Structure 1
Amino acid sequence: MNLPKYDTVPAAFDAVVSRWPDELAVLDGNRPWIFSELNDLVNDIAGILPDEPRMGIILDHSILMIASMLAVLKAGKAYVLMEPDFPVERIRDILQEAEIRTVITQKAYTDRLLPDVKPLILTLPMVHHDLRQPAVSGEDPAYILYTSGSTGRPKGVCVLQRNLMHYVRAFHHEFHNGPGDIMLQGSVCTFDIFVEEVFTTLLNGAALAIPHTDEFHARMQYCEDHGITFISGFPWLVAQMNSEKLVPSRLRILISGGDTLHHSQMDMIADRVPVYNTYGPSETTVCASYYCASGKQPLADGSHPIGRPVLGASMEILDEAGNPVPIGTTGEICIYGNGVSAGYIGDHTRENLAFDHNMYHSGDLGYQLPDGNFVFLGRKDRQVMVYGKRVEPEEVESVMEKCPGVQEAVVTTWMDPEGSSHLHGWIVPEPNPENEQTPVAERDLTERLKSCLSRHLTPFMIPESFTVLASLPRTANGKVDKEALEALGDGKDTIQDREDGQ
């Protein structure tokens, strides 16, 4: 497949359909869809879309979700995906900032929309509609993906058609996927792993398999039954496969991304399937670098390098003044090339300073090895990765302090032995002379806080544990003393744990 001449998803998809009309495109559970059938469905949906620049999509993971994404792009629009189980307030915040007027959805999810947002309800079979396909440019927005924001508001990254096609080419250049390959669709739709699963697969003539189960063993059996050849997921998925020594017999590539991959998470299966460690912010379109960790020795801390830049990208380590640093010297990882997106939509002027023409300041610290591979060390700021998704503690703190009964809040992180980060919340309750702070009162406050947070934040952003304090420790200049908080405990023991131990 000669993808370089295609700068847009519709052009590439039409070429795939023309070349392989009868090849498997999507397995929706056990129901196969060939490319010509998928194309008919895409055209039917595209033919009923309103004349609006952006379309929201809130659907169960199914053929309708995949076809809707392709239909929106074929119609020259950008899509904004939201999971149905997102907190209603977060869905509405996204709809408002992205100025979404119509959402492709199911009847069961219409209550999640803003009153002035119109639902476009899809059901199968679709009624045929003629499509007058507009001209689509590589400079047109393809999708907007929301990430956590340090200002207390989520940020929408605008990825262009040409950015997306850049990554489709880069993936194919590395992994040579095509007809006969089947990618597991295992990610939620708001992670950019989902972008990798869908577009690098279909636009290279391979097939996408959507299991109708979230249970690990059932998914692994599904992979075995349907001959899955590609799985892309977070390190915790690799770790679970590793601990149970479960590798589907036809799997030829296992990709880890979204967080640091440790050798202990892959050592039992690395000789059975090539395990890749990948790196890249959403702002640079899925992945900026690849590293095959199988057969390689880990670094001193037990992790693996993030590798070398993908096709069409380059990376440099820069100091605070923007100058390249010597090999082995720590600095900021800066990413150049065709994957650098158009930046954040809406009022994010300060955050958009991270974009400098064709370069993105990642905010990640790292260094380059003598062999050319790069190493990721962590963040310059407070941003952390939780279950593979970026979280700005400031956003969580902002929501916590708006919840009833909370006067002040701070969020810190702790790391488990596998290297995964977890959030812990520190709370100062509002003064209430009538009620003494007892363990029961603290428990009541934290339960009310969890309920409040669940209405505004996705589950991975809600701290797993809380500590109630009379006041926050502060430094001489009045800032919260994080070291003093850490001295009180790392947050692994929740209020309930401590009470149960009394």
Structure 2
Amino acid sequence: MAGSATAMNLGRLLTQTARRLPGRAALVWGERRWTWAELDARVDRLAAALRARGVGKGDRVLVHSRNSNAMFESQWACFKAGAVWVPTNFRLTPPEVAYLAATSRARAMLRDRGFAAHADAVRAAGPWCEQVLAVGDARPGEVDYEDALADADPPSPDHEADVEYADPAWFFFTSGTTGRPKAAVLTHGQLAFVVTNHLADLFPGTTERDASLVVAPLSHGAGIHQLGQVARGARTVLLPAERLDPEAAWRLVEEHRVSNMFTVPTILSALVEHPAVERHDHSSLRHVIYAGAPMYRADQKRALERLGPCLVQYFGLGEVTGNITALRPDQHSLDDTDPDCPVGSVGAPRTGMDVAILDSGGRRLPPGETGEICVRGPAVFAGYFENPEANVKAFAGNWFHTGDLGHLDARGFLYVTGRASDMFISGGSNVYPREVEEAVLTCPGVAECAVVGMPHPRWGEAGIAAVVPQPGAAVGEAAVLAHLQDRLARYKHPLRVVVWDALPRSGYGKVPKAMVRERLDAEGVGF
């Protein structure tokens, strides 16, 4: 018989760990420490504060924050209350965050200090956001975060909302392959599988004796990573400052005997290239995970030489919660001819996940043939929030279509060879040329624009904008970049702007990105 109790409320992971390990360290941020019992009590009070302000099951809570204890606590409080956690990239501008709030129709917002303009933009975007909790600099009409916790009545034990497998827990904003951001719906049941899979495939053997250093935003992959740490009672250590400080990172690795961390290739390279890596003991590291962008083989070798056999690579998208393939530490090697270490591969399918290369007709291709990378299994999201058109395309033929191109070898190892879209990845973040082009086209004097991603030695890829001025107008690189300053997050900005008399066009009058790249290459424009 079918029933409604088909999933554990994901917030129970914290409840269970706090009961099992009440006095052990749970979270470290600078000089501040919280035990599991203290952290759980704060989360329970936040859940009660949200409920007291009308936030209930299924309601969305927008969180615009740097990594902090409040950011961490908000995730678990939303889960426990049955609400939906909607984190943003804290580098987004107020208009960008307002769009996410309107798209999700967020009922409440938690903002970090210094983001008052973001809260104003959210409230101006529509009538949905009824409450704003502010950390440290609450204004009239907003609620101070710590006051909200202090005033809340602690809920009774086992207060977590009852949930079903398909009930949403997290809106993971992603554009998939094209267009403006879409809310990928991650559910309680799906995320329970993801936690289990991460523990099996990415950092097996993790216990309360381990520690995890957070060097990437908790709003995305690092937040997924920390779910497994909480499940096992491993200590989470946050960097003391907003920006990556390799010296501080390596000091914390030594101090807390850090055993795992989630990174993107640019962060990993910055860490291993810093002289502090030689000054601090990092022998405790067992799983240094990198994902989100291609990693040059030379950078991979340098990391292996400095850190030893602890690298773990995975390939995945937000829609699949990172769960497509994994390449274990023993599958990394400095030897390009090692038969057990497939150089250039992003790994083999994750446990319980099916990966296929499909042709344009939806048929499986044999090993070695290139097609679209498609996936199915319990880690696949529930679909885009209120976007049936995107869902039909994404789930054609009962597979999730990643929009990436690649091939499998005879053993099932995956190789990513390109992207079906024009999207490029810069420093681990997806950049969508159309969004950048639309912003550039609002610059006075610009008539046309094409943005493409080109190889960059530090960021993997970075944008170059080719612009055509309006008749009689003069447009320069500095003016275009200055125009983008408050319109787009910094990581979306092109690093170079070239001015052309006309954009290359196909016989159909279109501007193929391949032709733009060819001209840039011919003119020697790059990084």
Q: C-alpha separation between the residues in 2 aligned to 1:492 and 1:41?
A: 56
SS in 2 for 1:18: helix
State how far apart, in whole Å, the 2-side matches of 1:39 and 1:56 are. Answer: 21
Q: Hey, what's the Cα distance between the residues in 1 that align with 2:272 and 2:326?
A: 20
Segment of structure 1 superposing worse, 394-403 or 134-143: 394-403
Return the match for 1:287 from 311, 318, 323: 323
Distance 1:414 1:84, change over 3 A: closer
| Corresponding position of 2:86 | 80
Offset of 1:220 from its aligned partner? 1.8
The offset of 1:365, in angstroms, is 1.3
Tell me, yes or no, if structure 1 residue 264 matches structure 2 residue 265: no
Deviations 1:98-152 (A, max 9, x none): 1113102245323312335331234447314233543122211111122246664
2:34 partner SS:
strand
Which residue of 298, 306, 311 maps to 1:275?
311
Specify which of 342, 362, 374 is matched with residue 382 of structure 2.
342
For residue 171 of structure 1, give the secondary structure of its aligned residue in structure 2.
helix
Q: Which among 88, 106, 116 is matched to residue 100 of structure 1?
A: 106
Secondary structure of the residue aligned to 2:212 is strand
Q: Structure 1 CA distance, aligned partners of 2:255 and 2:318?
A: 32
SS at match of 1:449: helix
CA shift, 1:229, in A, is 1.0
Q: Tell me the SS of whatever aligns to 1:414.
A: strand
Equivalent positions of 1:447-486 (< 5 A) are: 447-480=478-511, 482=513, 484-486=515-517
Question: Residue 132 of structure 2: which of 119, 128, 131 is its match?
Answer: 119
Partner of 1:21: 22
User: Structure 1 residues 112-121 or 387-396, which shifts more?
Assistant: 112-121
Q: Which runs of 5+ in 2 are unaligned?
A: 1-5, 135-143
TM superposition shift of 1:451: 3.5
**What is the match of residue 500 of structure 1?**
none
1:65 aligned onto 2:66: no
Q: Which moved more, 1:170-179 or 1:479-488?
A: 479-488
CA distance in 2, matches of 1:217, 1:309: 35
Q: Which amino acid aligns with 1:146?
A: F
What's the TM-score once normalised by structure 1's chain length? 0.88
CA shift in 2, pair 1:419/1:62, >3 Å: closer
Alignment partner, residue 138 of structure 2: none
Deviations 1:253-285 (A, max 9, x none): 111101123331132442623211110011111
SS in 2 for 1:47: helix
Write the letter of the residue equivalent to 1:120: L
Query: Structure 1, residues 127-185: CA drift from partner, whole Å, max 9, x if none?
Result: 14233543122211111122246664222211111121111101111222121111111
From 205, 210, 214, the equivalent of 1:185 is 214
| Residues 405-460 of structure 1 deviation map (CA, whole Å, 9 limit, x = unaligned) | 321110112113578111100111223x3x5x3xxxx33xx334323333332222
Out of 351, 362, 369, the position equivalent to 2:409 is 369
Conservation of the 8 A alpha-carbon contact between 1:151 and 1:395: no
SS of residue matched to 1:38: helix
Of 107-116 and 464-473, deviating more is 107-116
Work out the CA distance in 1 between the residues paired with 2:334 and 2:416.
17
SS at match of 1:407: strand
- Cα shift readout 1:75-111 (whole Å, capped 9, x = no counterpart): 0011111244421110111111111131022453233
1:143 counterpart (170, 173, 185): 170
Query: Which residue number in structure 2 is paired with residue 429 of structure 1?
Result: 469
Normalising by structure 2, we get a TM-score of 0.84
Partners of 1:399 and 1:456 within 8 A in 2:
yes
1:241 & 1:305 partners in 2: Cα distance? 23
Provide the residue aligned with 1:205 in structure 2: 233
User: Cα offset for 1:345?
Assistant: 1.7
Taking the aligned partners of 1:424 and 1:294, their CA distance within structure 2 comes to 33
Task: Say if 1:456 and 1:97 are closer, same or farther in 2 by CA, change over 3 A.
Answer: farther
- Change over 3 Å in CA distance of 1:447–1:167 after alignment to 2: same
Q: Is the 8 A contact 1:299 1:305 kept in 2?
A: no
Q: Matched residues, percent identical? A: 23
Task: Say whether the 8 Å CA contact 1:89–1:455 is kept in structure 2.
Answer: no
Q: Distance in 1 between matches of 2:9 and 2:352?
A: 16
> Given the alignment of the two structures, is residue 386 of structure 1 paired with residue 426 of structure 2, yes or no?
yes
1:153 aligns with 2:154: no
Partners of 1:298 and 1:387 lie apart in 2 by 25
CA displacement at 1:465 relative to structure 2: 0.6
2:3 counterpart residue number: none
Check whether the contact 2:177–2:421 (CA below 8 A) recurs between aligned residues: no
Q: For residue 89 of structure 1, what is the amino acid of its counterpart?
A: P
CA distance in 2, matches of 1:308, 1:384: 23
CA distance in 1, matches of 2:483, 2:47: 38
- Cα distance in 2 for partners of 1:492, 1:24 equals 54
Counterpart Cα distance in 2 of 1:144 and 1:299: 42
Deviates more, 1:245-254 or 1:467-476: 245-254
In structure 1, runs of 5+ residues without a counterpart are 498-502
1:40 aligns with 2:61: no
Paired residues of 2:503 and 2:511 also in contact (CA < 8 A): yes
Root-mean-square deviation (Å): 2.7
User: 1:257, 1:197 → 2: CA distance?
Assistant: 11
- 2:267 counterpart of 1:237: yes
2:353 maps to 1:325? no
CA distance in 2, matches of 1:360, 1:120: 37
Of the structure 1 ranges 103-112 and 49-58, higher mean CA displacement relative to structure 2 is found in: 103-112
1:473 deviation in Å?
Answer: 2.4
Q: 1:269 to 1:133 in 2, by over 3 A?
A: closer
- Going from structure 1 to structure 2, the CA distance change for 1:158 and 1:266 (only over 3 Å counts) comes to same
Residue of structure 2 equivalent to 1:30: 31
Conservation of the 8 A alpha-carbon contact between 1:242 and 1:266: no
Give 1:241 shift.
Answer: 3.7
In structure 2, relative to structure 1, the CA distance for the partners of 1:484 and 1:295 (3 Å cut) is: closer
Which residue of the other structure, out of 40, 51, 58, is the alignment partner of 2:55? Answer: 51
Q: Partner of 2:85: helix, strand, or coil?
A: strand
Supply the AA of the counterpart residue of 2:437.
Answer: E
Q: Cα–Cα, structure 1 residues 241 and 399, in superposed 2: closer, same or farther, change >3 Å? A: same
C-alpha change, 1:366 and 1:481, in structure 2 (3 Å) is closer
> How many residues in Structure 1 have an aligned counterpart in Structure 2?
480
Alignment-mate amino acid for residue 431 of structure 2: V
In the aligned structure 2, how far is the partner of 1:47 from the partner of 1:153?
34
